[in-house]
Structure 1
Amino acid sequence: MSEEKTGPLERYLKVMEVVAASHDGLSLTEIVNLTGFPKPTVHRLTKSLIEAKALSAQDKRQKTFRIGERMWRLLQLGMDKNTVANYAQLVCDDLSDRIQETSYIVRLYHNQVRSVARSAPDQGHRLHVLPGSELPFHAAASAKAILAYQDEETIARLLVTPLEALTPFTKTKISDVRKEWEDVKKNGYAVCDREIDESVMAYACPVLFENTGVLYAVGVTGPRNRISKYPENYWIKEIKAAADQFASILNQKPS
């Protein structure tokens, strides 16, 4: 493809297109060969795309290019919602079968975190996690697992004060919420202990993708007297396995 025959936007899109089509990433030379653009042009385009987080580079020398956080978000946000919900339901059903408690998957939309799937065994606790229900950013374990990984601009848009005290255990100070987010990033999971309902407890793990942001989380909830009978690691091990399973599915279905 001749550079003279393409506009600036077309050149950027072409580079992103060939990189997105590669599962193992592409070198600068490979992008040159696939696009037909001159090497200096590809160097300039990839540099700009990295700055915009549309592409990422494996190392400081920028030898291997992959899709970046911003491009990944566009791909994920553009996925058919019914397809996502169907895959999420499969993961939730599998998780609930193993642990015999309610499991759910939530997603970050523009200004809210909403559940996309839920599976509850006969004795499962059904409160707060009906499909489509909105979860409070400062209290729900799954919302915490997502918000902890967002940039400051997103956080400023979503975390609106004053924070509602849903129970006496709800954190209503921004400093306390932010401290908990640091713990989420350090430990890899979030907890909601009587913060939405005084009888309910929940754990959640973010759905992590390499070099990308977090849009989804997997959670487990139930009566506190039942959830607290098992150590945290019992729940986190199962939830993390489900989150990894869901990430693997979405990695294979980018569109």
Structure 2
Amino acid sequence: MTPDSKPSSFKQNIRAVSRAIAVLNSFAGKDAQTLAEVSAATGLDKGTTRRLLLTLVENNYIALDAANNQYRLGRAIRDLASNVSDSQDLRTLAQPALLELASELSVTVFLSVFKEGAAVCLARYHDMRGLEVHWWPVGGTLPLNCGGAPKLLLAYQPEEEIARLVSEPMQPLNENSIVSPDDLRQRLALIRERGFECAVDDVAIGITALAVPVLDADNKPICAVSIAGLTPQMIKNGEPVPLERLRQTARHIRGRLGL
């Protein structure tokens, strides 16, 4: 090894990291890009861009849609983002109330937010006496046409965002999932009218999810608080039994946020 080899290698590593960061930054404000678009946005040649993208795909920082050869940000980015604390750590503020709710009702409790066109689970708590719902891990997403919190979070988005997301193909999780744009729009209007979503059997048969929003001073959603349990436990005479208790928890979290 020559005296200059280590500094040269170090500089090459720094350049590779800088280029990878440039590729990731090129996705800001964009849902998906082709190889050519990433290359143009970063100023890198296509060969270098392809190698960087494939490395990022292998590590789940970028996802490749093989059907149309478009790239988008991957699951690892969402997992990292879910662990970023801001000036008010939402999970820390909400945790005591959510743990109390899970223990009292013997259900699985979720805290979620709408981020970059997806419903992202920030926290999940479970009481050992009840059914543990596994389908939504921390950092994970659910289709916006399924479940309680995803549909609720979508319902409170600006109309242009709703129009964009409703126009995209919908992934059914079972035969009860909404897949029609018109049906989903009607459901979103109902959610806004009554201020909650009760999703019966549309993610897993026999399971009901109930969700309410935590709204800011401008009536925009900060997050959603939701619970999931066996349908007979959640629904009586066609009505969601724990609705007022769930709303109480949302009001408590709102108060902890100083609203």
**TM class, shorter-chain normalised?**
0.5 to 0.7
In 2: Cα distance, 1:227 partner to 1:160 partner: 32
- 2:126 and 2:229 map into 1 onto residues whose CA distance is 10
1:242 positional shift? 0.9
**Residue in 1 that maps onto 2:224:** 217
Deviation at 1:210, TM superposition (A): 2.7
Equivalent residue runs for 1:1-255 within 5 Å = 80=86, 83-122=89-128, 123-229=130-236, 232-251=239-258
Looking at structure 2, the residues matched to 210 and 81 of structure 1 have their Cα atoms a distance apart, in angstroms, of: 18
CA–CA distance in 2 between the matches of 1:196 and 1:229? 20
Give the whole-Å Cα distance in 1 for the aligned partners of 2:200 and 2:243.
Answer: 15
Distance across 1 between alignment mates of 2:240 and 2:190: 15
Distance apart, 1:200 and its partner CA: 1.4
Q: Normalising by structure 1, report the TM-score.
A: 0.62
Separation in structure 2 between the aligned mates of residue 102 and residue 161 of structure 1, nearest angstrom: 30
Give the Cα–Cα distance (whole angstroms) in 2 for the partners of residues 90 and 129 of structure 1: 20
Quick check: 2:209–2:226 contact (8 Å CA) kept in 1? yes
Q: Does the C-alpha gap of structure 1 residues 81 and 163 become closer, same or farther in structure 2, counting only changes over 3 Å?
A: farther
TM-score, length of structure 2 as denominator length: 0.62
- Matching residue's letter, 1:97: S
The offset of 1:205, in angstroms, is 0.5
Q: Secondary structure at the match of 1:95?
A: helix
- Partners of 1:161 and 1:234 lie apart in 2 by 34
2:133 alignment partner AA: R
SS in 1 for 2:242: helix
- Per-residue Cα deviation, 1:200-232 (whole angstroms, up to 9, x for no partner): 111101112232411311101012233235763
Structure 1 residue aligned with 2:58:
none
More strand by share: 2
SS of the residue corresponding to residue 205 of structure 1 reads strand
Q: Percent identity?
A: 22
Task: Note the residue ranges of structure 1 that are not aligned, 5 or more in a row.
Answer: 1-77
Deviations 1:87-127 (A, max 9, x none): 23222102112212111111111221111111111123222
Q: Unaligned 5+ residue runs, structure 2?
A: 1-83
Asked if structure 1 preserves the Cα contact closer than 8 Å seen for 2:234 and 2:240, the reply is: no
Q: Distance in 1 between matches of 2:152 and 2:202?
A: 15
The one-letter amino acid of 2:126's match is A
| Cα RMSD (Å) | 2.2
